Amino acid sequence: MTTTQYEYVPGLAGVPATRSAISDIDGQRGILKYRGYAIQELVQGSNFTETAWLVIEGNLPTKAEFAKFDHDLRQRRSISFRIRDILMSLPATGHPMEALQAGVAAFGMFYPKNIRDTQLNYESGVRLIAKLPTIVAANHRIRNGDDPVMPRDDLDHAANFLYMLTGKELDPLVAKIFDVCLILHAEHTINASTFSAMVTASTLADPYTVISSAIGTLSGPLHGGANERVLETLREIGSVKNVRPYIEEKIRNKEVVMGMGHREYKTMDPRATILKDLCKQLFGKLGSTPLYDIAEEVEKVMAEAVGAKGVWPNVDFYSGIVYDKMGIPVDLFTPVFAIARVAGWVAHWREQIADNRILRPTQIYVGEPDRKYVPMEQRG
């Protein structure tokens, strides 16, 4: 019987699980940085490919490094016909996140892996970043009765995904905004899916298994699935005039308003601020939508009611509206999240194995102290 005393912290809130140099959050001031660079600066000057390199390698790439990384990503977008066969064998009713997890898990059987080999680790990271969009787009088309669209190496990362998804090149502004969305979702410290990746990585599992475990964690409605539920909420509200009574009832019943509040931020999520501006640009180009008007009213009413308590829009609140306007189906919102966040997962995988110790937390036992076994015939 142990006599050690531990403090139980539900959800491990505020408990440091690692030392990391990848990203940092100042929740009180609403600041997010990747490798010391403010997210606002990266959105203004960078692109997803460069940001992925930064997150993984630790510094902005030189021209030569960027050219090689960009070339390697473009050349590794295709997936094996056997992976396509796996996708074709899956039920059309399955969620795209389940298909994505299955496809990524299968990667480990197709490609060499040795976590002590630096070059193989680089190639594994490139494959994962390059091929996740292809799996998502191919599965979407297959489950809707269409043939997959082959990737094009003349398009950048964001534009190529939208092309594979729709079979046509979209407006350059749409592709640019989607690229910004990928940057905003690329990394966010030790969230649930990243922690899952770290735990799996700490066992020295291969990188495809590591990313598959992260995808499984991201699929939960309290993590990546939140932006799907935001859009459902906005559609349920239906009109601007319904917002106030809807929110007041939610607050009265102590129910969560999806897309509002974040464990880390006590002010508005900086990514939500950027996404809100992207909404204006997108709708200015493609036409307005009632969902945006409803969202703005929700933000206003929530600010009046609970803003003083630090409950503000998070990244999920506006991302779903942006994706919906782009024509991306609701059930692809979370897979799109994964397409971006794989950069952060790869970075944390590499950081974990560079100075590894298996993650093995303890527990506080609350069960019966001492019990004696009673034979079946004596139990009545």
We report the CATH number of the domain holding residue 294 as: 1.10.230.10
Which one from 70, 206, 269, 316 is the annotated catalytic residue? Answer: 316
Regarding whether 192 and 44 lie in a shared domain, the answer is: yes
Query: Where a domain ends, among 310, 326, 342?
Result: 326
Q: Provide the CATH number for the domain around residue 48.
A: 1.10.580.10
Regarding whether 166 and 87 lie in a shared domain, the answer is: yes
Task: Report yes or no: 257 and 293 within 8 Å, Cβ to Cβ.
Answer: no
Predicted pLDDT of residue 213 = 98
E strand or H helix at 323: helix 315-326
Which one from 262, 269, 324, 348 is the annotated catalytic residue? Answer: 262
Task: Report yes or no: 168 and 177 within 8 Å, Cβ to Cβ.
Answer: no
Predicted pLDDT of residue 231 = 87
Regarding whether 241 and 187 lie in a shared domain, the answer is: no
Q: Please tell me the total count of domains within the chain.
A: 2
Regarding whether 234 and 316 lie in a shared domain, the answer is: yes
Task: Report yes or no: 49 and 73 within 8 Å, Cβ to Cβ.
Answer: yes
Structural domain containing residue 105: 39-204+334-354
Regarding whether 340 and 241 lie in a shared domain, the answer is: no
Predicted pLDDT of residue 292 = 85
Q: Which residue has the tokens 């600010």?
A: 303
Separate counts of helices (H) and strands (E) for the chain: 16, 3
Could you tell me if residue 373 is inside a domain?
no
Could you tell me if residue 22 is inside a domain?
no
Predicted pLDDT of residue 4 = 65
Could you tell me if residue 367 is inside a domain?
no
Predicted pLDDT of residue 316 = 81
Low-confidence residues in the chain, pLDDT < 70: 1-4
- How far apart are the C-alpha atoms of 237 and 232, rounded to whole Å? 9
Q: Could you tell me how many residues make up the chain?
A: 380
Regarding whether 272 and 138 lie in a shared domain, the answer is: no
Regarding whether 285 and 185 lie in a shared domain, the answer is: no
280-to-273, 274, 303, 333 alpha-carbon distances in Å: 11, 10, 20, 20
Q: Which are the contacts of 303, defined by CB distance < 8 A and separation ≥ 6?
A: 312
Could you tell me if residue 62 is inside a domain?
yes
Regarding whether 170 and 317 lie in a shared domain, the answer is: no
Regarding whether 88 and 170 lie in a shared domain, the answer is: yes
- How far apart are the C-alpha atoms of 336 and 175, rounded to whole Å? 13
Q: Which are the contacts of 92, defined by CB distance < 8 A and separation ≥ 6?
A: 143, 144
User: Strands, E, within 10-96: which ranges?
Assistant: 23-26, 31-34, 37-38
* Residue 147 is a catalytic residue: no
* Residue 316 is a catalytic residue: yes
Regarding whether 196 and 145 lie in a shared domain, the answer is: yes
Could you tell me if residue 218 is inside a domain?
no
pTM comes to 0.92
Regarding whether 161 and 271 lie in a shared domain, the answer is: no
Predicted pLDDT of residue 39 = 97
Could you tell me if residue 1 is inside a domain?
no
Regarding whether 274 and 172 lie in a shared domain, the answer is: no
